[in-house]
Amino acid sequence: MHYVSTRGHAAAQAFSEILLGGLAPDGGLYLPDAYPQVTGAELDAWRKLSYADLALAILSKFATDIPAADLKALTDKTYTAAVYRNARAGDAAERITPLRVIEQDGDKTLLLQALSNGPTLAFKDMAMQLLGNLFEYTLDKQHASLNIFGATSGDTGSAAEYAMRGKRGIRVFMLSPQGKMSAFQTAQMFSLQDANIFNIAVAGVFDDCQDMVKAVSNDHAFKQRYQIGTVNSINWARVVAQVVYYFRGYLEATTSNDQKVSFTVPSGNFGNICAGHIARMMGLPIDQLVAATNENDVLDEFFRTGVYRVRSAAQTLHTTSPSMDISKASNFERFVFDLLGRDAARVKALFAKVDSAGGFDLSGAPGSDGDEFKRIAEFGFASGRSVHADRLATIRDLHARYGLTIDTHTADGVKVAREHVKAGVPMIVLETALPAKFNETIREALGHDAERPAGFEAIETLPQRFDLMAADVAQAKAYIAAHTGL
Ligand SMILES: *Cc1c(COP(=O)(O)O)cnc(C)c1O
C-alpha cells in the first residue's frame, strides 16, 4: 500500500515514511492510493476478535511495510486493560470500547460507545497511545530521535504527553497558556514527572502558543537541526487507529453483516469522523455518519449547504465543549478529495481558495466552485449543531432518565443523534471524553460534581513540574536547544 497527497504532487510513500511527518511536501494530506476492502467473510471472522487483534487485522491492511509480528507486538502492548482502565463497573475491560444502549424508542435505538477509558479520559488516547508505540518502534529502527513541539489548550497535549512519556528517543515540549486550562487539565499534564516531558506555561493565550509553534515550524534549519516533529490531528496513523473502533462498534451492535448502523461523532478537526468515512469506504455497512458541532459550526454549515466557510481565530467562540472550538477542520481535505472523485488538481485549487478567500462553495449555485454537494448522501454524511443550552438540557435529561452522566462534547453528539436516528438502524454516539474533565459545566447542569474515575480523586494536589516562559519564539528555541543537548 502506498500513500498519495490530496494535492497530487508528492511522491507515493510507504506507511513508515509518512508516520513521523505531518503535511505532505505539497501542503496536502496523505491518503492510501486505494482503500483496502473488507469482505463479508473477514467481518464474520472479526466478530470474535479481541480489540487488539481487530486493531492488528485492520492496521495490517494499511501498514504493509511493518512486519506482522512487530505490528502484533505493538497492538498487543497498546490495547490492553492496563492502558484502558475500565472506568465503568460492569464492562468487561478487554472490550476496550464498551457499547451500551442508552435509549430505545420503538425501533429507534441510541447507543453510546465508550472511547474515553484511556489515561487522559478522552478518545484521543485511542490513537495517541498507538502512535507513541509506533514512533518508538520506528525511531529505534532508524536510530533516530524526535523532539515533539506542540501547543495545547487541553486534550491534545495531555494525550500526546501520556502517549510519549518514557519513550526512547522522544522528547515532548508542550506549550500551554498559563492559567487558561482547567485545574484538572493542568494537573493532568503538569503532574507528569517523566524526564522526557517538558511542560511550558506561556504568559499569553492559546493563539500565542500556536504562533510560537508555527514560527518554529517555519524555521526549517532549526527544525532539522533539532529534529522537531508534531503529533497533530492530521497525522495519518492517528486517523487509521481510529478506524478500528468503528468496526468494533459495528460488530458489537449487529449480529449479521446485512445490518447497518449509523454513527454520530462530536466533531472539531474532522479527524474522528474522517476515520468513520474511511471505515465506510472499506465496506463497513455504515448508513449515516453524522457530524455534531457546537456553536463553531463550520462543518454543520457545509453538510447542510455545501458551502465551506472557515472562521478567523477572532470569530471562533469559546464554548463549554472547548475541544470542538475550531475555525477550520484540518482533516476535512481528506473527505473533499474523495467527494471530488480524487481530483487532486481541483482539491489544490479549492484549498488555495480557502487561503485566499476564506472558503469554497460546492452547492452548485450559480458562480459556485462545483456541484458535488449533491453527492453528500452517497457518502452517508449528515450533520447537526448543539449550543450551550442544548448541552445542559441533554446532560440533565440523560441524568434524570437513565442516571447517566455524559461530558459536554458527548452531549452535543447525543443531541444531534436524536435528530437523525432512524427506525431499524442503531445509532451509535461516540463518547469523546469523560464528564470529570469538564466538571464546571456538569456542575452547572446538575448542581453537583461529576464522578471521578479511580486514581484521579486528588490529582490537583500532586506535585507539579513545569517552566514558565514569555510568549517569545527566541526563548522557546533556546529552551529546546538547552534541553536536547543537540
Ligand atoms: C478532539 C476532541 C473532539 C473533536 O475531534 P476531531 O477529531 O477534532 O473532530 C471532540 N471531543 C473531544 C473531547 C475531543 O478531545
pLDDT tens digits, 382-395: 999 999 999 999 99
For ligand 1, atom 8: residue with the closest CA: 269
Q: Which residue has the higher pLDDT, 232 or 303?
A: 303
pLDDT at 86: 59
Contact 410, 432 (CB under 8 A): yes
Mean pLDDT over residues 38-45, rounded? 97
Mean pLDDT over residues 211-224, rounded? 90
Residue 81's pLDDT band, with cuts at 50, 70 and 90, is confident
Q: What is the pLDDT of residues 84-104, one digit of tens each?
A: 875 344 444 467 899 999 999
Tell me: pLDDT of 243 over 90: yes
Locate the DSSP E strands across 19-98: 30-32
Mean pLDDT over residues 367-381, rounded? 96
Q: If one looks up domain 96-119+238-446 in CATH, what number appears? A: 3.40.50.1100
pLDDT at 90: 45
pLDDT at 52: 92
Q: How far apart are CA 27 and CA 196, in angstroms?
A: 30
Q: How far apart are CA 146 and CA 304, in angstroms?
A: 42
Ligand 1 neighbourhood includes 233 CB (under 6 angstroms) = yes
DSSP structure class, residue 313: G
Question: Which residue(s) pair with 261 in the sheet?
Answer: 286
Mean pLDDT over residues 275-289, rounded? 98
**How remote is the CA of residue 37 from the centroid of ligand 1, in Å?**
27
pLDDT at 313: 81
428 in helix, strand or coil? Answer: strand
Q: Which atom of ligand 1 is nearest to the CA of 116?
A: 13
> Which of the residues 48, 77, 124, 223 is marked catalytic?
124
Contact 174, 257 (CB under 8 A): no
Contact 410, 431 (CB under 8 A): yes
Cα angle at 284 between 281 and 290, to 5 degrees?
A: 75
- What percent of the chain lies above the pLDDT cut of 90? 83
pTM for the complete prediction?
Answer: 0.95
Residue 217's pLDDT band, with cuts at 50, 70 and 90, is confident
pLDDT at 91: 46
Q: Is 124 a catalytic residue?
A: yes
Cα-Cα-Cα-Cα dihedral sign, residues 68, 231, 128, 163: positive
- What percent of the chain lies above the pLDDT cut of 70? 98
The strand order across the sheet containing 228-229 reads 228-229, 146-151, 170-177, 197-203, 467-470
**How remote is the CA of residue 323 from the centroid of ligand 1, in Å?**
5
Q: How far apart are CA 432 and CA 443, in angstroms?
A: 19
pLDDT at 94: 62
437 in helix, strand or coil? Answer: helix
Residue 316's pLDDT band, with cuts at 50, 70 and 90, is confident
Question: Could you tell me the three cell numbers for 251?
Answer: 460488530
pLDDT at 87: 38
